[in-house]
Amino acid sequence: MSGLTLSRSVAAPRAEIRTNPFRAFARLVAAAYRAGVTRRELAGMDDRMLRDIGITRYDALREAARKPWDQAPATRD
């Protein structure tokens, strides 16, 4: 992959988990939703758009195939 990272880490700080577990859970669910939407949009881009952002069709489809809750940066093969 070309080093593309679609989402930033959304790990809730430990203090937030202890004080407000509902908010921490809601934050994780929202991040998974955003990741799913972004990955579907990425899969729908044409080759010109993908070239503009510097990734290949293979990279885009591989990223789009990841589960929405998989927020870790993608590793290169």
The CA distance from 7 to 5, in Å, is 6
Tokens of 14: 């430990």
Could you tell me the maximum CA-CA distance found in the chain, to the nearest angstrom?
47
**b or e along 48-72 (b: 16 or more beta carbons within 10 Å of the residue's beta carbon)?**
eebeeeebeeebbeebbeeebeebe
Cα 66 to Cα 2, 19, 43: the distances in Å are: 16, 31, 11
User: What does the pLDDT read at residue 6?
Assistant: 47
pLDDT digits 0-9 by tens, 22-60: 888 899 999 999 999 999 999 999 999 999 999 999 999
